[in-house]
Structure 1
Amino acid sequence: MSKRTNAKYKLDRRMGENIWGRPKSPVNKREYGPGQHGQRRKGKLSDFGVQLRAKQKLKGYYGDVTEKQFRKVYAEAVRVKGNTAENLIGLLEQRLAMVVYRAKFAPTVWSARQLVNHGHILVNGRRTNIASARVKPGDVVEVGAKGREMVLVLEAQALSERDVPEYVQADGFKATYVRVPTLDEVPYPVKMEPNLVVEFYSR
């Protein structure tokens, strides 16, 4: 079972933004941070603070990605030809758990990871239980027989708060990963700044 190390709504409040665009997010009511010091006046962030915040927000959005995993993805984004910020987003969106989430097989990033970990997801007909496995363009991702009966999956497909993006073609319990998206194509509910993440790691 996937272990959620961070309370997702606490991250929302710390950032002061509804990162996943969820209707239940407390930021919709309280825009200040969590804890007893949450309402004190915020000082101006330094350049380092702005970059760190952008990194924490992007890393947090993708669920329980550890710092080690995130840095590894960044290192790969640097090695690949082209814009590092765009490469970083492309690599993060290729994670199997994210494709499951984008295809609306799960209501949250965490439940998508759990669905994969519990063996309910097939990639090209083969059961895959590694949430960080990379999906390539043309790969077919589908929910297994047991997963199709889960309330979680059925509720996710009925969600009206988000749509399936163009780079994932979903049809019922089956989805095809069409292409690696650009930053503009990824339906983030808030503004993400991968260029600041690149600056943070390249200091």
Structure 2
Amino acid sequence: MSKRHSAKYKIDRRLGVNLWGRPKSPINRREYGPGQHGQRRRKPSDFGVQLMAKQKLKNYYGEISEKQFRRTYEEATRRKGDTSENLIGLLERRLLAVVYRMKVVPTVFAARQFINHGHIKVNGRTVTIPSYQVREGDVIEVKEKSRELPLVLEAIGSPERDVPDYIQMDDKGTVGTFLRQPKLADVPYPVQMEPNLVIEYYSR
């Protein structure tokens, strides 16, 4: 097992949820945290509940750094409208999230590596920054020479996930158009996300 797989599965067990909805997640077999004290779960405080909500959301998008995640929160508070909805919208507009939603890679971690290695174009230009903010109408595509990679072919053919309706894919499943910024209810999270608790955490 790779270090990344090991770390990813520890995240699931630490948080007590199958965060990405994957069938191989150890939480499907053992619903308690890692380590010898993993089965001792106390009722969390209000702070603990808020912290857990933040950790779930932050880890779901590929272990965003605390500095970057807080910056996203601050941007969400500056925008008009509901801060929780703004936060989710900004997270879903990250190129990493869009590539993962397009189902051309199996995991968010694979999406990060795929972008870093230069396999993705946005509006015809190579973009290697996973945190790049995609705009409505942007066309995101897998480079021609990368479309036959086993990773891509396996991900496209997998029945594990569906592409959400705020991304329109071409017939081959390698070119997508970001139609609109989604609301929380539009995002196909496999577990319940509570951005309102994240806002409470940072508003303390």
Tell me the TM-score normalised to structure 1 length.
0.96
Question: What is the distance in 2 between the residues matched to 1:78 and 1:137?
Answer: 20
Query: Does the 8 A contact of 1:122 with 1:144 survive in 2?
Result: yes
Alignment match, 1:59: 58
CA-CA distance at 1:90 after TM superposition: 0.1
Task: Indicate the residue corresponding to 2:125 in structure 1.
Answer: 126
- Counterpart position of 2:186: 185
- Say if 1:168 and 1:66 are closer, same or farther in 2 by CA, change over 3 A: same
Following superposition, which runs of at least 4 residues in structure 1 exceed 3 angstroms of deviation? 3-6
Mapped partners of 1:49, 1:138: distance in 2:
39
Match of 1:169 in 2: 168
Query: Is 2:32 the counterpart of 1:32?
Result: yes
Q: Counterparts of 2:159 and 2:86 in 1: how far apart (Å)?
A: 29
Task: Give the Å deviation of 1:146.
Answer: 2.3
Aligned partner of 2:196 in structure 1 is 195
Q: Give the count of matched residue pairs.
A: 200
- Match of 1:154, SS state, is helix
State the shift of 1:167 in Å: 0.3
**1:166 is aligned with what amino acid?**
D
Q: Which amino acid aligns with 2:113?
A: Q
User: What is the Cα deviation at residue 4 of structure 1?
Assistant: 5.3
What is the CA–CA distance in structure 2 between the aligned matches of 1:111 and 1:147, rounded to whole Å? 14
What is the deviation of 1:101? 0.4
Q: Write the distance in 2 (CA, Å) between the matches of 1:173 and 1:52.
A: 37
Asked if the contact 1:77–1:87 (Cα under 8 Å) also holds between the matched residues in 2, the reply is yes
Query: Matched residue of 2:144: which SS?
Result: coil
RMSD (Å) for aligned C-alpha atoms: 1.4
Query: Is the contact between residue 5 and residue 64 of structure 1 (CA under 8 Å) also seen in structure 2?
Result: no
| Partner in structure 1 of residue 15 of structure 2 | 15
Structure 1 residue 36: deviation in Å?
1.2
- How far has the Cα of 1:193 moved from its partner? 0.1
- Residues 5/18 of structure 1: CA separation in 2 closer, same or farther (3 Å cut): closer
The separation in 1 between residues aligned to 2:160 and 2:66, in whole angstroms, is: 29
Q: From the superposition, tell whether residues 4 and 28 of structure 1 become closer, same or farther in structure 2 (CA, over 3 Å).
A: closer
Secondary structure at the residue paired with 1:169? strand
SS in 2 for 1:18: coil
Q: Distance in 1 between matches of 2:71 and 2:62?
A: 16
Corresponding letter in the other structure for 1:95: R
Task: Find the residue that maps to 2:35 and give its secondary structure.
Answer: coil
What amino acid is aligned across from residue 182 of structure 2 in structure 1?
P
Q: Deviations over 1:142-163 (max 9, x none)?
A: 0002211211111110111110
